[in-house]
Amino acid sequence: MTGKKLKCTGWGVDPMKIKVSYFAAFREAAGTGSEILETAASTPAELFSECAALHPALQNYSSSLVAINDEMSAWEATLGEHDEVLFFPPVAGG
């Protein structure tokens, strides 16, 4: 895992460290299963946009599920320091 710095998205917002995990097609698109990012994103939606800027192949995907700390989450939930965010590509069980 690497500690990559992403651009701040707002004034006066301190960047925080967040672990991001990618699965299936997302892992292949990002070229890694997980990484630690320094980000000012306040929601999973903002964070995913930043990840897609970092890994352009992720831009091919528009919708998926997201979880924070192993609980399914809303895209507009509030992120906290040291949260682990799990980005799931469209699921295909069954």
Partner 1 sequence: MNGFGITSTAIDLQVFRQQLLDISCGACVQFEGWVRDHNEGQRVLRLEYEVYEPLAVKEGNRIIREAIGKYGVINACAIHRSGLMELSEVAVVVGVASPHRGEAFDACRYIIDQAKVRLPIWKKEYYEGGRAEWVNCQRCAHSA
Q: State which of positions 49-68 bind partner 1 (CB under 8 A).
A: 63, 65, 67
State in angstroms the smallest separation of the CB of 85 from partner 1.
13
DSSP codes of every residue in 48-88: HHHHHHHSGGGGG----EEEETTEEE-TTPPP-TT-EEEEE
When binding is defined by CB under 8 A, the residue of 2, 12, 56, 92 that contacts partner 1 is: 92
Applying CB under 8 A, the residues found at the interface with partner 1 are 23-25, 28, 63, 65, 67, 70-72, 86, 88-94
